[in-house]
Structure 1
């Protein structure tokens, strides 16, 4: 008496079942690894962005010196202190630009309008014109800063 023969598809399932399950498990593991890699890459981008935006904010704060009539030496010094990191977070050209910017800000003559002082109308008008020039300089410096740092401050995914 011959043993009962199983259908042929059961032989295929028995032979191919293990590789199919292994392939499915490898696919799931690959998908999870890919998502972890993307998450780590996005975290790195965010960390770099946070550090870069901090230096950008320091530069903006230092630029405010151009518009005001008093020097905030602390803001310029903080920008100067951050320039060592800027070389690694941006590139050497940006670090040199930020250094030159800090020097320009520190050396800028600031207009002073003291409303309590006895100024003639002409002196007052000249002081206002000087203040407008400084405002224009600030706007130019701000635009240049934005142009230089824009490619480093873009969060792209």
Structure 2
């Protein structure tokens, strides 16, 4: 009724206006959703980094303790286990074996220290000492590579 008296451009705007507003609103909603997705992706990367860094730090502390004391105390062992038990969910199998290898070496070094006094007259004592220093040399060599091994998992440069 009243639209018959209005100019054509007003009739056109009334007809197309709601569609245009809906398209603009959908575009804005899509932009907001995209930004939320990017934020969630970055947060996931940062959360993953935090969890992985805890494992790296625990491994680094264990290696440091082994090099300083040539053994691991019970509380250090518990701390290491508590902070690395979930490594299999965060790293590939190769790095998990690498981390586990340090734990096994630490246990072997502890056993060496516990039985050292008992082996004073043991003819195989020389071989045991050689194995002990072989393990320590391995730990020392790997301590130089530790950061390099973890770096691909701790690199945040590709997170945008």
TM-score by length of 2: 0.69
Moved more, 142-151 or 85-94: 142-151
- 1:66 to partner: Cα distance: 3.3
Task: Indicate the residue corresponding to 2:32 in structure 1.
Answer: 32
Can you list the C-alpha shifts for 1:98-138, whole angstroms capped at 9, x where unaligned? 0112223444599xxxxxxxxxxxxxxxxxxxxxxx69953
Task: Indicate the residue corresponding to 1:8 in structure 2.
Answer: 8
Task: Indicate the residue corresponding to 1:131 in structure 2.
Answer: none
1:43 and 2:26 matched: no
1:90 and 2:110 matched: no
Distance 2:70 2:143 in 1: 19
1:19 alignment partner, SS class: helix
1:65 alignment partner, SS class: helix
- Asked if the contact 1:55–1:86 (Cα under 8 Å) also holds between the matched residues in 2, the reply is yes
- Asked if the contact 2:54–2:83 (Cα under 8 Å) also holds between the matched residues in 1, the reply is no
- Asked if the contact 2:71–2:109 (Cα under 8 Å) also holds between the matched residues in 1, the reply is no
1:149 and 2:150 matched: yes
Over 3 Å counting, the alpha-carbon distance change for 1:86 and 1:48 in structure 2 is same
Q: Please give the root-mean-square deviation of Cα atoms over the aligned residues, in Å.
A: 2.8
Task: Indicate the residue corresponding to 2:128 in structure 1.
Answer: none
1:68 and 2:32 matched: no
Q: How many residues align?
A: 132
Moved more, 3-12 or 143-152: 3-12
Query: Which protein is richer in helix relative to its size?
Result: 2
Task: Indicate the residue corresponding to 2:129 in structure 1.
Answer: none
1:101-116 aligned within 5 A: 101-108=102-109
